[in-house]
Amino acid sequence: MKALGYLLLTTLKNRILSLKKKPALLILYLIIGAGIGVMVIVSVRPGIQEPKAYSDIRILYAIIAGIGGVFLYSFVTTGLSTGSTLFTMADVGLLFVAPISSRKILLYGLIKQMATTFLSAIFILYQVQTIRNSFGLGVGAILNLFFIYAVIIFFCQLLSIGIYIFSNGNAERKTLVKLILFGLFAVTALEIYFQYLQNGGTVLQAVFNLMNFKPFYFIPVIGWSVMFMSAFVEGNVIYLSIALLLFLISSIIIISFFTSGEADYYEDVLRSTEIVYNKLQDAKNGKRTASVRRIKIKEEKTGLQGGKGYMSIFYKHILEKKRTSRFVFLDTYTVLAAGGAGLVCYFMNSEYSVYVVLGVLVYIQFFVTVLGKLSDELSKPYIYMIPEKSIKKVVAASMTTLIKPCSDAVIIFTVVCIFSKTSPFLNLFVALAYASSGAIFISYTLLCQRLFGGMPNKLISSMLGLTLFMLVMAPGIGASIAAVLLLPEAFLFLGTFPFTFCCIVISIFIFAVCGDLLDKAEYTGK
């Protein structure tokens, strides 16, 4: 057997055999498989009650177009900065130096990537029942959806590598790629506007009308994927073939570009592979991944601009934030969260949307906070070495993480207030609840570090951490549930206030008790 075939098959075999030693993973796979099986059986079972009317199929097409657009944008952007990779560091170290044709190695990478992509798209099969109920599609159409989703990701990854090889170190080519990308989005926007002018109605209706507009089908990735899906649903073999051919021919062009004499993809994928490897290592060590975005340093904007002793940590954090966002605390997350919250409120059109937004954002905030600046600082020796009291350093290192949810809350809940048409008082108290949950999460991080910082067993520490989390959160949640049950309707906007109050009191208590963290904890460098 040739080396690459051996590598692929042996890797696959060992991966399957390794499940013997990882029964939990095996059970998880079996549950996923069984879950998909049950979903498929339930959806094709005869006698199941059909809904009276299905939703407009164009909604599904618009979702596919949206997914295509997001992947196209993100993978092209990645291609312009670091590129994607089909390889691992082991491939770089062992395969690239081996006497094997680079084309064969590329084929090996493509096969491996294709398998990974198809596996990652499997979650779509879980939606069998929902898609069937909403749009009346059969299993065949859902398999097709699964297929086109995997094709979009795979193609975008190829495109990303191709763009990296084409534009790496060449500013003019980078500009050209950007122009083409924005051109594609501009054409899509113009087509929506054209639909709006021609058919009237809302912008959303114009988007749905676009899904039947044939010229739109020829916009790369976004239009091609809609063409493929709609052709399958409508039984249009010609458009189905055209869509597949467009993906296929473009892929062949990109692959021939990799393997052409001019482009040496080894050198190009090396950096991308290293970046991906470092990201994986960081993730394994529970570290946040460092941004690979190139930051231009302007001389007039350097320096901490203030802070002495423990406060230098805070000013350093402010400077770091300025480097990632011009508006310091208002960043892409703020914009995305505010936009998402606005959309939820607009479409839900109910007072409950405010609570839905609060719940989702608090959930996200937990992960952002736990991996926040304090955890970052504890992974470096400086905070331990600064000759100041531990409590002061801990507070200074937590300050930006405490302020960020406050500034986010102002923006997000102003948007929520406008789109949900709910009372400003309700939004004020919900915003306070959001801001205070930031404080409770950071104090929870502090408590965990203080109690389990040096614990080597991750399973025990995470289980204890979960129990601790429940203990920390329970008083606030319980108090708010009680308040909602007891308060008269006119004062229901105060429902989140007990939660806010408990969060603040518990946070202050934890900070006071665990402020000596740096005198007691051990620096592990992780």
Partner 1 sequence: MIEVKNVTKKYGKLLANDSLSFTVRPGEISILAGPNGAGKSTIIKSIAGLLRFQGEILICGKKNKSLEAKRNLGYIPELPALYDMLTIWEHMEFIARAYSLENWKERAENLFRRLELDDKKNKLGSELSKGMQQKISICCGLLPSPKVLLFDEPLVGLDPHAIKELKNMLVEYKQQGTAVLLSTHMLDSVAEFWDSTNIMIKGKIAASRSREEIIGTGEDLEKLFFEITENNKNTKEEVKE
Residues found near partner 1 in the complex (CB under 8 A): 290-291, 295, 297, 299, 302-304, 307-313, 315-316, 319-320, 323-324, 379-382, 384-389, 454, 456, 519-520, 522-523, 525
DSSP conformation class of 297: P
Is residue 500 a contact partner of residue 475, using CB atoms and an 8 Å limit? Answer: no
Alpha carbons 448 and 371: distance in angstroms, whole number: 13
Task: Pick the closer one to partner 1 by CB: 185 or 452.
Answer: 452
Give the nearest distance from C-beta 314 to partner 1 in angstroms.
10
DSSP conformation class of 488: -
Give the nearest distance from C-beta 463 to partner 1 in angstroms.
19
Alpha carbons 232 and 241: distance in angstroms, whole number: 10
Task: Pick the closer one to partner 1 by CB: 32 or 89.
Answer: 89
Task: Pick the closer one to partner 1 by CB: 120 or 281.
Answer: 281
Q: Which three-class secondary structure state does DSSP give residue 311? A: helix
Give the nearest distance from C-beta 387 to partner 1 in angstroms.
4
Q: What is the residue-wise DSSP string for 326-393? A: TBTTB-HHHHHHHHHHHHHHHHH-STHHHHHHHHHHHHHHHHHHHTSHHHHHHTSSHHHHSSS-HHHH
Task: Pick the closer one to partner 1 by CB: 302 or 467.
Answer: 302
Task: Pick the closer one to partner 1 by CB: 307 or 340.
Answer: 307
Q: Which three-class secondary structure state does DSSP give residue 46? A: coil
Q: Which three-class secondary structure state does DSSP give residue 523? A: coil
Task: Pick the closer one to partner 1 by CB: 135 or 310.
Answer: 310
Give the nearest distance from C-beta 307 to partner 1 in angstroms.
5
Q: What is the residue-wise DSSP string for 231-296? A: HHHHT-HHHHHHHHHHHHHHHHHHHHHHHSTT--HHHHHHHHHHHHHHHHHHHHTTPPPPP-S--P
Give the nearest distance from C-beta 113 to partner 1 in angstroms.
27
Alpha carbons 383 and 225: distance in angstroms, whole number: 51
Give the nearest distance from C-beta 466 to partner 1 in angstroms.
23
Place of tokens 């951490």: 465
Is residue 395 a contact partner of residue 511, using CB atoms and an 8 Å limit? Answer: yes
Alpha carbons 416 and 343: distance in angstroms, whole number: 9
Task: Pick the closer one to partner 1 by CB: 5 or 309.
Answer: 309
Give the nearest distance from C-beta 391 to partner 1 in angstroms.
12
Task: Pick the closer one to partner 1 by CB: 267 or 519.
Answer: 519
Alpha carbons 500 and 480: distance in angstroms, whole number: 9
Alpha carbons 50 and 56: distance in angstroms, whole number: 16
Task: Pick the closer one to partner 1 by CB: 13 or 293.
Answer: 293
Q: What is the residue-wise DSSP string for 52-82? A: SSPPPHHHHHHHHHHHHHHHHHHHHHHHHHT
Give the nearest distance from C-beta 518 to partner 1 in angstroms.
9
Give the nearest distance from C-beta 82 to partner 1 in angstroms.
13
Give the nearest distance from C-beta 170 to partner 1 in angstroms.
20
Alpha carbons 146 and 124: distance in angstroms, whole number: 6
240 contact partners, CB below 8 Å, separation of at least 6:
228, 231, 232
Task: Pick the closer one to partner 1 by CB: 123 or 382.
Answer: 382
AA letter at 179: L
Task: Pick the closer one to partner 1 by CB: 169 or 456.
Answer: 456
Is residue 149 a contact partner of residue 71, using CB atoms and an 8 Å limit? Answer: no
Is residue 220 a contact partner of residue 69, using CB atoms and an 8 Å limit? Answer: no
Alpha carbons 161 and 413: distance in angstroms, whole number: 40
Task: Pick the closer one to partner 1 by CB: 456 or 488.
Answer: 456
Give the nearest distance from C-beta 323 to partner 1 in angstroms.
5
Give the nearest distance from C-beta 303 to partner 1 in angstroms.
6
| 380 CB-contact burial (10 Å; exposed 0-12 / middle 13-18 / buried 19+) | exposed
Report the candidate in 168, 161, 213 with the shortest Cα–Cα distance to residue 192: 213
Task: Pick the closer one to partner 1 by CB: 58 or 321.
Answer: 321
Give the nearest distance from C-beta 169 to partner 1 in angstroms.
15
The whole-angstrom distance between residue 49's C-alpha and the CA centroid of its chain comes to 36
